[in-house]
Amino acid sequence: MAEAPIRPDADPASGSGRRQCIALVDDDRHILTTVSIGLQAEGFATRVYTDGEAALRALLENPPDLAIFDIKMPRMDGLRLLQLLREQSSLPVIFLTSKDEEPDEALGLALGADDYITKPFSQRLLIARIRAILRRTELVRAEPDEAVPEGLPEPIVRGRLALDPARHRVTWNGEPVSLTVTEFLILEAMAIRPGVVKSRNQLMDAAYSEDIFVDDRTIDSHIKRLRRKFRALDPEFSAIDTLYGAGYCFADG
């Protein structure tokens, strides 16, 4: 099925008053309706989809600010949807998972999800997670020639790596690397002090707000994905070191 609007005014408004838009992808219409109404009450615009294939086309053609995927869906499940989306987009994504879907949850993080929430969930928790991720993505859409506001961090150059925190841009040997916000924050935390080992807890603190709790495997999944992205450009990439039992560090100073 194609897009299933909850309200006539559910699409994002244009102009300076544009509301942040959340896309919901789930084959359960009750969840779509309940979550959409709750988000709209918090000032968000919403778009809803009951089909992964239709959602993928829409997310690429007209990206929202954030998307929420169910995992178990017919035709195209949430994992496959995320995998195809990540080939072309770093759009922030939250997964909704059932308690019996922990292996899928881990795979979702490895594929590039920014967060996950276990069903049943509270609207308050969901909104808190959404706002936390959106706060981290505020600068992602800055224009290349837009002046960087005073007080924001300067670009970081570490050997072949260059990071621009103000514009969420990363290059390796001059080639751009597309990272999600969570991946960027983890890499930045290591690159600020090359050679200094960062524990998983320290990397969690850098990448997630205080009200989000994740376990060790979440950071490990993001590190694996970071390495895979850099090795796609440079098969010899080895700048992220693992110190077993201690954490990770950036070694290409």
The residue type found at 52 is G
DSSP codes, 108-166: HHHHT-SEEEEES--HHHHHHHHHHHHHHTTTTT--TTSPPPTTSPPPEEETTEEEETT
Superfamily of domain 21-136: Response regulator (3.40.50.2300)
CA separation for the pair 118, 229 (Å, rounded) = 28
What pLDDT score was predicted for residue 147?
A: 53
Q: For the whole model, what pTM was predicted? A: 0.67
Mean per-residue pLDDT, 84-102 = 81
pLDDT at 33 over 50: yes
pLDDT at 143 over 90: no
What pLDDT score was predicted for residue 6?
A: 43
Domain ranges for the chain: 21-136, 156-250
What pLDDT score was predicted for residue 149?
A: 53
Q: Considering only CA atoms, which of 158, 180, 181, 182 is closest in space to residue 171?
A: 158
pLDDT at 220 over 80: yes
Mean per-residue pLDDT, 80-86 = 92
CA separation for the pair 127, 150 (Å, rounded) = 29
CA 4 to chain CA centroid, nearest Å: 24
Secondary element (H or E) of residue 182? helix 181-191
Residue 71: which residues within 8 A CB-CB, separation 6 or more? 77, 78, 79, 95, 96, 97, 98, 101, 104, 105, 108
CB-side neighbour CA atoms (13 Å) of 195: 3
Q: Six-digit token pair at 138?
A: 């505020």
Q: Which residue has the tokens 């102009």?
A: 15
What pLDDT score was predicted for residue 144?
A: 46
Confidence of residue 37 (pLDDT cuts 50, 70, 90): very high
CATH topology of domain 156-250: Arc Repressor Mutant, subunit A (1.10.10)
